[in-house]
Structure 1
Amino acid sequence: MRLLKARLALLPLLLPLLLPALVSADKPADTEALADVTSGKIAWDINMASAEKLQLYLKVMDETYEDLKRQGVEPDMVLTFRGPSVRLITTERSDVSLDEEVQLDGIAEQLQAMLKKPNVRAEACSVATRLTGVDPKTLLPGVEHVGNTFVSQIGYQAKGYAIIPIM
């Protein structure tokens, strides 16, 4: 069991080294799907408790952003955090194991890098922060505290955003 935990602890350190090898320079295009598309509007509906999974999914979301740009489509993304995911985007880490601390650092780095890109925003649900006991003042920089991300999802969908669940 300890060996498995040790290997899992190394995963976040090795993933950045392995990810470029998984993304080929000869990556196929999405020509048919993106025909006549100029804007890629995505509202990511993030609801997960696993720091390890969120760290991986943030990399995939970033890759999606870059894939859209590569194919001439302007990305417009909002990451909406709800449920237990709000505990993964806070600076408060008093009840966090050392293994998870490394993953949370990776999440914070990846999220900050994404928020520096044009047309990328993040928001956290006040219902979720209340239910999980997360102080909104401890949300990572750039994450907007909103009333209810279910309401946000309704608004984004009405504005033509694709709603993509991340669970």
Structure 2
Amino acid sequence: MKQTTAIKIATGVAAAAIGGLFLYSRATRPPVINAKVPQPAKPVDLTRYTGLWYELARHENRFQKNMDAVTAEYALEPGGKVGIVNSGLRAGEDERDIARGQAIVADTETGAKLKVSFFGPLYTGDYWVLDHGDDYDWSIVGEPGGRYLWLLSRDPHPAADQLQTLFRRIEALGYDRWALRITQHEPGPE
């Protein structure tokens, strides 16, 4: 009888902890900056999408708070999965924060919608490539809830006119460009 009571208490504590984590994650999500997230503009060839990307701007979120020099690297893995390594430097720190994850294609017709997990199979998030350059030199990434947005580029220091063109494209997709935080990278060569 004592063992049954202990199991019930342990189960209750575990359920409360999971519930608390769920409520915390819901309470700390960024606000919606696009109530009408569009469908991805074009298909994505994951072979061309793989490689190193530099984050140019993002809608600030708790897991990247005060982070600059942010990169994302994607690699095709066996079984059609995509390996992910995100990293960046937090203000005042010298060592990069690194997060490793995996993605699977959720929309095999276009390849533009993926399910991403950094915490194992219990939590997955949507990753939509809303638009990208024909040469895969830039990418705008979001998710269907309109809370997250990233502007990625192969070049950490694109020309000012190209950057303005990308911000206009973000606005055309229905996002408030002024809600984005510009990501700082080490200065490029003069």
Structures share a fold, TM > 0.5? no
The bucket for the TM-score relative to the shorter chain is under 0.3
TM-score normalised by length of structure 2: 0.25
| Greater C-alpha radius of gyration | 2
Higher relative contact order (CA 8 A, sep 6+): 1
Greater helix share, structure number:
1
Greater strand share, structure number:
2
TM-score normalised by length of structure 1: 0.27
